[in-house]
Amino acid sequence: MSNTIDFQATTGGGSEIVQVTMSYDEDIDGIYDESIESVKFEGVEVIGLISHEQFAELEIEGCNAINEKKIWQLENYEP
């Protein structure tokens, strides 16, 4: 099942806040195929302007956001 998550992160020398959209797939075995779809700074798409290192850091932050979302869902599960 394909999902997306939006989260804020800081990046760059000035620790600027960016809005990130990440997609991922999920099945009974877990989460896989995580991919950053969009990185926006003040509403402007900047995904093509960030470095490989910044992109990797945003991917890590995205994976952490996905895990935090899953933990929240498990803790707040209502049948």
pLDDT (tens digit per residue) in 2-13: 899 999 999 888
Q: How far is CA 5 from the centre of its chain?
A: 6
Q: Give the tens place of pLDDT for each residue, 17-76.
A: 999 999 999 998 889 999 999 999 999 999 999 999 999 999 999 999 999 999 998 899
Q: How far is CA 22 from the centre of its chain?
A: 4
What's the pTM value of the predicted model, to 2 decimals? 0.86
Tokens 């996905």 sit at which residue?
66
Nearest to 31 by CA among 78, 66, 62, 76: 66
Give the pLDDT of residue 1. 67
Running DSSP on this structure, what letter comes out for residue 13? Answer: T
